[in-house]
């Protein structure tokens, strides 16, 4: 338990209305990261802040901005037309929206302040364009802008927006914003902002950004690191369990039915996986297999922004027991206090994301539990891999021997409708592609991937034709790829949608006619061909066959060579990581540019 610090003990001036606001929110004391950051960031310091998930970093930048805006020595309430005072960037629309709400939760109890201090959200939605954002900005004259990198960049490029009064820049989840996905946009934004400003970088995993943090253009930043021994909060209990791929869905349903929790997040690897499993869980709810008092929601990056925000709002607001199936789009920053259970069907690509996913629970000293499912065998090494990164997990076992019924139901459900069946194949293929991009490739290797178990997990009856399967499964592929005892005609699976089924039948008929015609033509040509030509055609065919065989052999050899060299690199990386960590532990220092500050 960390020592509580009263707001009166804070080492800087705080406007009385801000103290009243935190009082109204029920925050009697400051969290350690707030106690250390607010005085620095309210003054003239750039800050680089790393502190565990759920430790209150948002208030640590919201309060300094409001303090300075509302009566500090710097700025009047009202900005000149086209100017703004503070810019907060976050990687997702959900998180930007959440930060926007935190600002408003300070202002709403004070109507007189609410009229003077205004915030605007800048995120891409289908409903509004950058032009709409600009019109609103010029009319509403907000001093605080909060948004995602792409939209903010487009907005700032307009000549109607003047950046010279921007005093504050905050990069929330800064390591994510400075990685290669967002870096270009963030750099473009930085070029548009004045150099004389305060910059704050915030994240629970900032050290992973390494040298990149210096790209944020800070002068003499103060490093604030409020991590406990471990890199996750003490109130967060992280477990792993070993479960074969084809039992994962059964175990998931079993845990949702039998565990006591208020709200749970289930992380799945891909958007298509979320939509597929969500549809099946809705069916399980209807058919009584999943407790009917459990509300099921889904959220992923391919949904419209408005629907994403609405789902998150409903999930946050409901008082009923609920579960949200999602991808990493909801891994960082999302703050829903009632979440007390987090399940991961597979570990994420990145160990840092693992911490963020788990960190959706066990926030603000509330107890929370996270469980990650690992395949027995090689994936157990992930536990040691995380230990090296100061994240400790303890093992938990469930009686999985009696499970398996859900899997059978899943397959039957999938085969009822061709659309579902195709959805399953897509989800499987997407998962293999996802798996191949793991950063810990020495553990998560396509060579050891459970192709058959995962295919069963996605309700497949036959392995799809994929280069990965041909290459890595080879002889181990079941007969013709069938995963069921009695193979059947896959063409016989109908679409539930009548029109789609009619169109499919039509296509089958047309393909049949075309094939017949082609066959007839070929036979006719053969009959008409001179004897000498026939021999020449046969020889040419044999020649082509030999050429193809030698080409295939060369490609296979090349792949094999590349693979063995890749592997040793990865092994080297892994050994390096262990070596570096040991060295750092001895010298008491932590590696990375963040710690060099
Ligand atoms: N002083 C405080 N006392 C009690 N609760 C607080 C205090 N400050 C913030 N909180 C609450 O703590 C929770 C977590 O805060 P916040 O979302 O800012 O965490 P974070 O450190 O940004 O987490 P993450 O790294 O996951 O984004 C929120 O529900 C917030 O309302």
pLDDT tens column, 23-67? 999 999 999 999 999 999 998 899 999 999 999 999 999 999 999
CA atoms within 13 A on the CB side of 557: 6
Other C-beta atoms closer than 10 Å to the C-beta of 400 total: 16
Is residue 102 in contact with ligand 1, taking CB distance under 6 Å? no
| Exposure string over 426-435, b if 16+ CB within 10 A, otherwise e | bbbbbbbebb
Contact 172/90 with Cβ under 8 angstroms?
Answer: yes
Domain ranges of the chain: 16-225, 236-481
Query: Which of these, 56, 42, 46, 51, lies nearest to 5 by C-alpha position?
Result: 56
The answer, yes or no, to whether residue 588 has pLDDT greater than 70, is no
CATH 2.40.128.130 for domain 16-225, yes or no, is: no
Assigned token pair, 299: 């959220």
In this chain, the answer to whether the domains covering 16-225 and 236-481 adopt an identical fold is: yes
Q: Which of 478, 456, 444, 481 is nearest to 466 (CA)?
A: 481
- Region class of 26: left (phi > 0), else alpha (psi between -120 and 50), else beta: left
Cα 58 to ligand 1 centroid, rounded to whole Å = 6
Share of the chain above pLDDT 90, in %: 58
Q: Which among 1, 56, 89, 100 is the best mutation to test ligand 1's pocket, defined by most ligand atoms within 8 Å of the CB?
A: 56
Ligand 1 neighbour 24 (Cβ under 6 A): no
Q: Which of 10-24, 207-221, 565-579 has the highest mean pLDDT?
A: 10-24
* Closest to 202 measured CA to CA, from 90, 68, 93, 120: 90
Instruction: Find out whether the beta carbon of 150 lies less than 6 Å from any atom of ligand 1.
Output: no
Choose among 557, 556, 566: nearest CA to 445.
566
Ligand 1 centroid to 592 CA: how many Å? 26
Q: Which residues contact 198 (CB under 8 A, 6 or more apart)?
A: 41, 44, 45, 46, 47, 167, 168, 169
Residues 6+ away with beta carbon under 8 Å from 368: 235, 236, 237, 339, 340, 341, 342, 361, 362
> Out of 439-443, 551-555, 585-589, which region has the weakest mean confidence (pLDDT)?
585-589
Q: How far apart are CA 380 and CA 403, in angstroms?
A: 22
Q: What is the pLDDT of residues 13-34, one digit of tens each?
A: 889 999 999 999 999 999 999 9
pLDDT over 70 (residue 87)? yes
CATH of 236-481, one of 3.30.365.10, 3.40.605.10, 2.30.110.10, 3.40.50.300: 3.40.50.300
């Amino acid at each position: 338990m960390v020592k509580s610090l009263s707001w009166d003990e804070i080492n800087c001036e705080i406007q009385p209305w801000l103290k009243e606001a935190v009082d109204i929110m029920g925050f009697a004391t400051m969290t350690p990261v707030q106690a250390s950051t607010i005085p620095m960031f309210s003054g003239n310091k750039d800050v680089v802040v790393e502190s565990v998930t759920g430790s209150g970093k948002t208030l640590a930048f919201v309060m300094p901005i409001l303090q300075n805006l509302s009566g500090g020595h710097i700025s009047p309430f009202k900005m000149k037309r086209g100017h703004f005072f503070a810019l907060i960037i976050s990687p997702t629309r959900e998180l930007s929206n959440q930060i926007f709400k935190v600002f408003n939760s300070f202002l709403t109890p004070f109507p007189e302040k609410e009229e003077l201090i205004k915030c605007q959200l800048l995120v891409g939605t289908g409903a509004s364009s950058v032009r709409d954002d600009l019109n609103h900005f010029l009319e509403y004259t907000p001093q605080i802008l909060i948004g995602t990198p792409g939209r903010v960049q487009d907005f700032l490029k307009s000549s109607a927006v003047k950046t010279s009064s921007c005093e504050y820049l905050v990069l929330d989840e800064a390591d994510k914003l400075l990685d290669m996905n967002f870096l270009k946009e963030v750099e473009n934004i930085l070029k548009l902002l004045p150099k004389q400003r305060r910059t704050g970088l915030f994240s629970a995993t900032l050290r992973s950004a390494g040298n990149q943090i210096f790209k944020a253009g800070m002068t003499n930043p103060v490093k604030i690191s409020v991590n406990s021994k471990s890199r996750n909060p003490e109130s967060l209990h992280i477990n792993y369990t070993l479960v074969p791929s084809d039992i994962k869905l059964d175990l998931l349903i079993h845990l949702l039915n039998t565990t006591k929790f208020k709200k749970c997040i289930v992380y799945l690897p891909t958007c298509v996986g979320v939509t597929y499993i969500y549809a099946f869980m809705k069916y399980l709810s209807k058919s009584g297999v999943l407790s009917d008092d459990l509300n099921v929601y889904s959220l992923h990056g391919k949904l419209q922004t408005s629907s994403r925000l609405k789902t998150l709002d409903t999930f946050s607001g409901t008082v009923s027991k609920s579960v949200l199936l999602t991808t990493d789009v909801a891994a960082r920053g999302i703050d829903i206090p009632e979440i007390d259970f987090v399940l991961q069907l597979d570990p994420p690509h990145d160990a840092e994301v693992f911490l963020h996913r788990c960190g959706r629970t066990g926030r603000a000293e509330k107890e929370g539990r996270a469980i990650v499912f690992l395949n027995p065998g090689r994936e157990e090494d992930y536990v040691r891999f995380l230990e090296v990164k100061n994240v400790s997990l303890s093992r938990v076992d469930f009686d999985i021997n009696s499970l398996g019924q859900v899997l059978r139901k899943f397959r039957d459900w999938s085969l009822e409708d061709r659309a579902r069946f195709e959805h399953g194949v897509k989800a499987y293929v997407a998962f293999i592609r996802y798996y191949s991009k793991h950063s810990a490739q020495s553990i998560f290797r396509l060579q050891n991937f459970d192709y058959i178990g995962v295919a069963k997990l996605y309700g497949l009856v036959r392995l799809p034709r994929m280069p990965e399967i041909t290459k890595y499964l080879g002889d181990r592929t079941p007969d013709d790829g069938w995963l069921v005892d009695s193979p059947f005609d896959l063409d016989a699976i109908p679409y539930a949608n009548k029109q789609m089924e009619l169109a499919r039948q039509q296509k089958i008929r047309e393909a049949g006619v075309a094939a017949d015609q082609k066959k007839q033509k070929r036979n006719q040509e053969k009959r008409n061909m001179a004897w000498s030509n026939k021999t020449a055609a046969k020889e040419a065919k044999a020649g082509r066959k030999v050429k193809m065989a030698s080409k295939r052999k060369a490609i296979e050899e090349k792949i094999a060579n590349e693979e063995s060299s890749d592997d040793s690199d990865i092994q080297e990386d892994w050994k390096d990581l262990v070596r570096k960590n040991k060295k750092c532990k001895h010298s008491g220092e932590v590696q990375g540019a963040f710690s060099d500050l």
